Chain A
């Protein structure tokens, strides 16, 4: 409130806005939260990667989730700041190409959001098989059906389903997909609450009895006590410690967990005019809120697993599954399946269906960002004009084709060639390298794009004299550097093998070749590509 001498205080107006296109009242943090929340998907990515915990036996999964979840708030600041300075430009490609350079921007974005997403299709498919087809098949007693999804042809079939589902979601457009995601979010949350309820209101003894029953009847275990035998065959040093203090090992879990919690920036909202600092804060609120909420839910889930199933059992079940000594007929011990053992098979079926919405609301993300990168690079004339073509219904059919086709070929090799399967362990690494580029761009932005930065609503935010965007970028850069170093140097993550490095190098080589080739072709066509990014003097 302001005041004039001798008069009552009044609301001081700082802006007079006339009627004009595009002026909106804002956007809901809750809506943006949903998309970020779905991207750091606890049920699909989270539970899937937590099963790898036994590979770093002394580390505390729970502590690693908490530490990385808290630290990655810096990532949300970096991305919210990039959006605040260069809104609507939208995305890693545009930021890096405008701040650092076109070649680097193109190579990083194309590898990190397009090429590597071909490799994410079979990973998504694996999750679909393990969290949807196999549990449902097991409940129905279709043994052949359950086994099928573990075989190469099953993995390939799941990949084809995944790829086509993602393509369909892109075809229906963002409007339809946003609605579907919202529906999946609320329904999936109901499913998760049911799971939490089942774990809260049952004891470990209840679980042992239920597990032993269904391990026998549904999964064909021959053991007299499948629960005890799971622990016996799967236990390893450290398996029983929920929150151990082996800090070094816990840190080593973080690059593994990044597979799950590195994606909060997918929830960023890029629209809006004639607003300012509040949008920056709202974007942080949505992304960091989703990150923190997911972290808390992950910790609650793990605590409930420890309470009702036993932490030793959970880790042993995962370890036994990896080593082929499990009591569930080789089916992955999906925690949702295990928690649903307290209810009848038909209720189990319904719970699994509800929880599968975490997958179906998320599957479109595998192609979504790629299609944006394809469009942006085609509009910059690096990719051919046809790459961004849409039909009369607005469907980007060429973009879908160049996502779908290669992803099916890659999925075939993933399913039938175990060496190639190992190469896909680079999936997180390549995207992290793309984030690294954007983070460097964010860090140097106040100097490289001084005018744009100074005119932005975040120019006033400094930490110890350093622009907030730079400070957050340095801290997030340290996280990425640590993860990338570990991925490249430590065999436990599976991505530092020779073949993998060569393969990854080839991906970057292809991207660079496309960029250079495009520059040559365009030059022959008489197009000076330097005009795409070259700034016009304003004075």
Chain B
């Protein structure tokens, strides 16, 4: 069985399109998206009147004078993983002053996009025989799960054990605590209980088990993130990195020895490592550049993973 894994696309439509095309590109039987599907930012495109618009992306202001230019700008924003919206100065001011107002808009755009992505999956992979799993990550709101659960082609993996070609995959997008207080994070003991509850449903032998846990295991090199100061700045200009992975995830891997574990969460920590015989992979993420980092893995049910390759697509 050939499995393609990518993660942390964070709203990048380019990455999502590539993810859907990866089945054909890598001749994969199964696609798994590891979590953090949704974008992080809303970009207003402001109507200046008389058919003129302006917006700022990556601190670069763009002035637009035609519908084509606005559409092209929207496309750039979407490719980068952000959500564009058209507005006028008065509405923008109202949004800026009312957090709940723009949070509502954010959620609307986010869920709209996930729904659109599910339809794209139906169009591209419906009836192809390729199974596609998504497991929302700690940055994804819970409403995302319902949309995936209702999708035709994409299957929701969160908290479930799924059977794939004689293998079992158990997934969760929950992580240990982060400085950002995100949607799916909890203390290590609670995370441990969650993992054990999910793992207890597994019936296959370890060499036929895959863990798809968004959070990487602690101190494996897959979890090195820049240390932050109290005011959320990068300490020592990003050079002071420290392990931020989960001890619960590591303990689960050490205890149950699955053949393969798939992780994301820490975009900078692309790599692979072994915990005992278990191959652990974090392909990293370069979603902003539209570069889909991933891993192609061949499994044959023997004690070790047959083949794997980290890809940069």
**Which residues in A have some Cβ–Cβ distance to B below 8 Å?**
2-4, 10-29, 31-32, 34-35, 85-89, 98, 173-175, 177-179, 182, 267, 269-278, 286, 375, 379-381, 385, 388-390, 392-394, 396, 451-452, 454-457, 459-460, 525-529, 531-539
Contact = CB atoms under 8 A, between A and B. Distances in A.
25 contacts: A14-B55, A17-B40, A19-B181, A20-B10, A20-B182, A21-B138, A25-B232, A31-B235, A31-B239, A174-B239, A174-B240, A178-B239, A269-B234, A273-B288, A274-B41, A276-B57, A375-B221, A379-B271, A390-B221, A457-B59, A531-B296, A532-B310, A534-B311, A535-B313, A536-B313
B76 A388 contact: no
Contacts of B246: none
B255 interface: no
Contact of A385 (B228, B272, B288, B290): B272
B65 interface: no
Contact of B270 (A34, A275, A379): A379
Contacts of B241: 173-175
Nearest to B13: A538
B150 interface: no
A28 B240 CA distance: 13
B284 to A, nearest CB: 8
B74 interface: no
Nearest to B14: A538
B312 interface: yes
A7 B177 CA distance: 44
Contacts of B227: 175
B298 interface: yes
A277 B60 contact: yes
Nearest to B61: A14
Contact of B40 (A273, A277, A455): A273
B291 interface: yes
Nearest to B103: A18
Return the 7 tightest CB-CB contacts between A and B, nearest first: A276-B58, A14-B56, A536-B313, A32-B237, A31-B237, A457-B58, A271-B238
B31 to A, nearest CB: 12
A535 to B, nearest CB: 6
Nearest to B234: A27
A381 B76 CA distance: 33
Interface stretch (B21-29, B125-133, B157-165, B189-197): B21-29
A394 B224 CA distance: 9
A18 B40 contact: yes
Contacts, number: 236
B226 A271 contact: yes
B236 A15 contact: no
A10 B93 contact: yes
Contacts of A286: 237
A23 B234 CA distance: 10
Given A20-B40, A536-B18, A175 B310 contact: no
Contacts of B80: 455
A26 B233 contact: yes
Contacts of A174: 239-241
A230 to B, nearest CB: 43
A392 to B, nearest CB: 7
Nearest to A4: B89
Nearest to B223: A394
Q: Which of A12, A19, A379, A396 has the most CB of B within 10 A?
A: A379
B311 A531 contact: yes
Given A389-B273, A539-B17, A21 B36 contact: yes
Nearest to A534: B313
Interface stretch (B42-50, B111-119, B201-209): B42-50
A15 B39 CA distance: 12
B177 to A, nearest CB: 11
B280 to A, nearest CB: 11
Contacts of B59: 275-278, 457
Q: By DSSP majority rule, is chain A's interface helix, strand, loop, or mixed?
A: loop
A93 to B, nearest CB: 12
B291 to A, nearest CB: 7
Given A4-B90, A12-B92, A173-B241, A19 B182 contact: yes
A24 B89 contact: no
A388 B272 contact: yes
B237 A455 contact: no
B145 interface: no
Contacts of A277: 58-60
Given A271-B238, A452-B290, A456-B289, 6 more contacts: A14-B44, A14-B55, A385-B274, A451-B14, A455-B76, A457-B59
Contacts of B273: 388-390
Given A381-B309, A538-B18, A24 B290 contact: no
B25 A536 contact: yes
Given A269-B237, A271-B238, A460-B60, A16 B309 contact: no
B267 A88 contact: yes
Interface string B1-40: 0000000001000100110011001100000000010001
B135 to A, nearest CB: 15
B232 A24 contact: yes
A99 to B, nearest CB: 12
Given A26-B234, A388-B272, A538-B21, A276 B311 contact: no
A271 B268 contact: yes
Contacts of A271: 226, 234, 238, 268
Nearest to B16: A538
Nearest to B17: A538
Contact of A394 (B221, B238, B265, B298): B221
B218 to A, nearest CB: 9
A536 B271 contact: no
Given A388-B272, A533-B312, A537-B21, A25 B239 contact: no
A31 B236 contact: yes
Contacts of A533: 312
B256 interface: no
Contact of B233 (A13, A27, A276, A460): A27
B307 interface: yes
A359 B242 CA distance: 25
A179 B235 CA distance: 10
